[in-house]
Amino acid sequence: MQRAYLVSFHKVVPDDTGHDHRVLQQQAVVRARSDVSAAYAAKAMFREAVGVVDWRLRADTCEVVELTERSA
């Protein structure tokens, strides 16, 4: 059974005072059998959308959260 996952990509960037901030680069809702499968699919979509061979060139983190029926 496939479930819905929200996958978010963030980049950590410093501000002019030297404090780091997480900046959202992209989010996608992905239907997959597991969180690992959702991350794999979302990383492929992100790479294609931004035109890079490795998603880590444009983001520092990839977070996967399963959506409940109520929030999907």
User: Does residue 54 lie within any of the structural domains?
Assistant: yes
Question: For the whole model, what pTM was predicted?
Answer: 0.87
**Dihedral through CA 1, CA 46, CA 48, CA 37, nearest 10?**
-30
Res 72: pLDDT: 52
User: Does residue 25 lie within any of the structural domains?
Assistant: yes
Domain that holds residue 53: 3-66
- Write out residues in the chain with pLDDT < 50, as ranges: none
User: Does residue 72 lie within any of the structural domains?
Assistant: no
User: Cα(14)–Cα(10) distance, rounded to whole angstroms?
Assistant: 13
What total of structural domains would you count in the chain? 1
